Amino acid sequence: MVAPPDNDVLWARSLHHTHHGSPALSGVSLGVREGEVLAVHGPRGCGKTTLLRCLAGHVVPEEGEVWFNSVPVHTMGAVQRERLRRDRFGWIDPEPALVPELTAWENAALPLLLRGCSHRAARSAALEWLERLDIGSCAADRPHALLQSQRQRVAVARALVATPTVLFADEPTAPLYSADRSQVLRTLTAAARSHRITVVLATHDADVAALADRTVALLDGRRVNSLHVNGAEGLDACSLSV
Ligand SMILES: Nc1ncnc2c1ncn2[C@@H]1O[C@H](COP(=O)(O)OP(=O)(O)OP(=O)(O)O)[C@@H](O)[C@H]1O
């Protein structure tokens, strides 16, 4: 194994992964620099989620290497990867997965409570993020009382509350209306930049990808140099330039 460049917080080499025999990633390599907002961009089914899950240690790629801060992730055991995700990574899914029995602020505070932070400090940090995301007034509500867009904001607050080293955001604005989308994305990228949080953002939306510092394009599980969107059909009608 050759160690990755020092200035890459995340580094992956030649990732291959299949789902039940169907290829999802075919030889993807990339580096992510500390503090950068990187968009992984491509049409539905091109392998974005699989790539993020490999980089975050949710999934061990069938072939290839993943390194975080010069430490190999692909050789870690399940417990070590779980600890890494808890202590260093944040994750936002396209659909908010909140604990139904907990209030909005308790859901947002969970990463801090799991790390042993005091109840008072966790509550204060969670409320601050909920305010920033314009849902401070919903802090005492349980998820069933919230709109889907409000639940997603809670999930965004939960991902940011512990100031992760890397935030993985998989289509984070999928359940939001377009007006909400830009506010949440601006909050997310501004928070990342001010706190030096590295962001890896999966999106099929060219407008979302444009907010990133750099874009990596995927097509059919492979890295390509760029995707050109043709008309309103978006990336479903993309052409490829390598
Ligand atoms: N659990 C699974 N079982 C079988 N096939 C899967 C599974 N997960 C993903 N795939 C397939 O692997 C390929 C890559 O999927 P992946 O979800 O990584 O792509 P994506 O770009 O994130 O797509 P989307 O934007 O729709 O989430 C697709 O062809 C998908 O159908």
What is the complex's ipTM, to 2 decimals? 0.92
Does residue 1 register a pLDDT over 90? no
pLDDT grade for 242, boundaries at 50, 70 and 90: very low
Given a cut of 60, whether residue 170 has pLDDT beyond it is yes
Task: Please provide residue 113's backbone torsions phi and psi, each rounded to the nearest 5 degrees.
Answer: -65, -40
Summarize pLDDT for 102-146 with one digit per residue, the tens: 999 999 999 999 889 999 999 999 999 999 988 999 999 999 999
pLDDT category of residue 228 using cuts at 50, 70 and 90: low
Superfamily of domain 8-226: P-loop containing nucleotide triphosphate hydrolases (3.40.50.300)
Where does 76-140 show beta strands of DSSP type E? 89-92
State the pairing for strand pair 8-19/198-203.
Answer: unpaired
Mutate which of 16, 22, 25, 41 for ligand 1? The one with the most ligand atoms within 8 Å of its CB, which is 22
Residue 23: closest CA among 221, 236, 219, 202: 221
Q: Is the CB of 236 under 6 A from ligand 1?
A: no
User: Per-residue pLDDT tens for 16-66?
Assistant: 999 998 999 999 999 999 999 999 999 999 999 999 999 999 999 999 999
Q: What is the mean pLDDT of the chain?
A: 89
Q: Indicate whether residue 50 lines ligand 1 (CB < 6 A).
A: yes
- Choosing from 49, 55, 200 the residue with most ligand 1 atoms within 8 A of its CB, the one to mutate for a pocket test is 49
* Mean pLDDT value across residues 11-15: 96
- Angstrom distance (rounded) from CA 155 to CA 161: 10
Q: Where exactly are the structural domains of the chain?
A: 8-226
Sequence-distant (6+) residues with CB within 8 A of 66 are: 10, 11, 12, 15, 54, 55, 57, 72, 73, 74
